[in-house]
C-alpha cells in the first residue's frame, strides 16, 4: 500500500507537467491578441502592447515561456494579471467560497442520493422506488441554469463572497442536483445487483440481522461505484461551477477561470487550472485508495 501511494505520487509529476504545458499551450493557441480589446474601440499604443508582451514573455517561443513560467511557479510565484494583481491573491479570494459550495453540493448529493438509492434499491418497484425514479428523472432533465433561475427567483437569493454557509444551500442544491440523481441511480443499481451476490446470501444464511447485512455487507460493496463517482465529482466541483456561480453571482473559481479565458490572461488561467488539476489528482488518488479500503477483493501491490 505504501509503495502504491508513493508510486502514484510520483506519477503526479508527469501529469502535472503535461497538464500545465497543455493548458499553457492551449491558452496561447487562441488565435487573437490578448491586448487588442484593452483599449475599447481604439487600438492600444504599440509600446503598451510591446511592453505587456515583454512582461509576460509572450515573444519567447512557447517552450521558453513555459520553462520561465514553471521556474517562477516553483518559487511560489503564480505571476500576476495584466492589471498587476497577483494571481495568488485572486486564488486566495475566490477559492474559499468555491470549496464551501463544492462541499455543500457534495454533502447534499451524497446524503440524499445515497439514502434514496439504498431505499429504492432494497425495495424495488414500490411506491418509494417510483417516486425516487420520477424525482431523479425530473432533476436530470432540467438544465442547471433553469433550475438555478427558478430557485433563484423563487428564493430571491443573491450571494456575496463572504456569504455564510446558509446562503449557499440553495446554490449547492442546484449545483449538486444532477449528480444527486446520478448517485441515487448508481446506488440503486448497485444495491439491487449485490443483493443477490453470494456474500449477501451467506450473511443472511448465517443469520446475521438485516441491518448488519445491509449496513456492512451490502452497502460496503455497493458504494464502490458511487464513491468513484463522488470522488470524481468533488474534483470537478472544486473546479468551480461557471453556470451556478454565474446565476447566483458567486465570485468563485469557475467565474475567475471563465473571465480570464475570455481575456486570454494565460498566467491566471494556467495558475488556477494547475491548482485545480492538482486538487483533482489528489481526489482521484484518494478515490483509488478508498477502493482498497472498501473492497477487499481489490489490492494494490
Residues near another protein (CB under 8 A), total? 106
Grid cell listed for 163: 456569504
Binding mask 117-156 for another protein (x = CB under 8 A): -------x--------x---xx-xxxxxxx--x---x--x
Q: How far is the CB of 266 from another protein (least distance, A)?
A: 11
Q: Which of residues 12-71 bind another protein (CB under 8 A)?
A: 14-15, 18-19, 22-23, 26-27, 29-48, 50-52
Q: How far is the CB of 142 from another protein (least distance, A)?
A: 6
Spatial separation of the C-alpha atoms in residues 252 and 161, rounded to whole Å: 8
Please check whether residue 195 is in contact with residue 121, taking contact to mean a CB–CB distance below 8 angstroms: yes
Grid cell listed for 8: 502514484
Q: Among 118, 102, 96, 246, which Cα is nearest to 173's?
A: 102
Q: Which of residues 65-124 bind another protein (CB under 8 A)?
A: 81-85, 89-90, 93-94, 124
| Cβ nearer to another protein, comparing 89 with 209 | 89
Q: Which of residues 208-237 bind another protein (CB under 8 A)?
A: 224-225, 228-229, 232, 235-236
Q: How far is CA 94 from CA 3, 91, 128, 237, in A?
A: 36, 5, 40, 14
Q: Which of 74, 196, 205, 211 binds another protein (CB under 8 A)?
A: 196
Q: Which residue has the cell 454533502?
A: 107
Q: Which of 58, 122, 135, 258 binds another protein (CB under 8 A)?
A: 258
Phi first, then psi, for residue 80 (nearest 5°) are: -135, 165
DSSP code for 214:
I
Spatial separation of the C-alpha atoms in residues 188 and 137, rounded to whole Å: 14
| Cβ nearer to another protein, comparing 127 with 207 | 127
If binding is defined by CB under 8 A, does position 176 make contact with another protein? no
Amino acid at each position: 500500500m505504501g509503495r502504491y501511494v508513493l508510486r502514484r505520487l510520483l506519477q503526479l509529476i508527469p501529469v502535472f507537467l503535461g497538464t500545465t504545458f497543455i493548458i499553457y499551450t492551449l491558452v496561447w493557441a487562441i488565435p487573437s491578441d490578448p491586448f487588442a480589446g484593452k483599449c475599447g474601440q481604439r487600438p492600444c499604443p504599440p509600446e503598451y502592447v510591446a511592453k505587456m508582451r515583454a512582461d509576460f514573455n509572450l515573444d519567447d517561443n512557447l517552450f521558453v515561456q513555459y520553462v520561465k513560467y514553471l521556474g517562477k511557479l516553483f518559487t511560489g510565484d503564480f505571476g500576476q494579471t495584466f492589471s498587476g494583481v497577483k494571481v495568488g491573491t485572486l486564488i486566495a479570494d475566490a477559492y474559499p467560497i468555491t470549496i464551501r459550495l463544492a462541499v455543500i453540493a457534495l454533502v447534499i448529493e451524497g446524503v440524499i442520493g445515497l439514502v434514496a438509492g439504498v431505499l429504492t434499491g432494497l425495495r424495488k418497484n414500490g411506491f418509494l422506488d417510483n417516486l425516487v425514479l420520477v424525482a431523479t428523472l425530473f432533476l436530470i432533465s432540467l438544465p442547471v441554469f433553469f433550475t438555478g433561475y427558478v430557485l433563484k427567483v423563487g428564493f430571491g437569493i443573491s450571494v456575496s463572497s463572504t456569504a455564510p454557509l446558509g446562503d449557499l444551500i440553495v446554490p449547492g442544491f442546484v449545483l449538486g442536483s444532477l449528480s444527486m440523481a446520478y448517485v441515487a441511480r448508481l446506488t440503486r443499481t448497485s444495491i439491487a445487483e449485490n443483493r443477490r451476490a453470494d456474500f449477501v446470501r451467506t450473511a443472511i444464511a448465517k443469520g446475521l440481522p438485516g441491518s448488519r447485512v445491509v449496513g456492512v455487507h451490502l452497502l460496503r460493496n455497493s458504494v464502490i461505484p458511487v464513491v468513484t463517482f463522488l470522488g470524481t465529482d468533488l474534483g470537478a466541483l472544486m473546479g468551480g461551477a461557471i453556470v451556478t456561480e454565474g446565476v447566483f453571482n458567486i465570485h468563485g473559481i469557475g467565474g475567475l477561470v471563465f473571465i480570464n479565458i475570455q481575456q486570454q490572461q494565460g498566467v491566471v488561467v494556467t495558475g488556477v487550472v494547475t491548482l485545480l488539476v492538482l486538487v483533482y489528482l489528489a481526489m482521484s488518488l484518494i478515490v483509488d485508495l478508498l477502493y482498497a479500503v472498501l473492497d477487499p477483493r481489490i489490492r494494490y501491490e
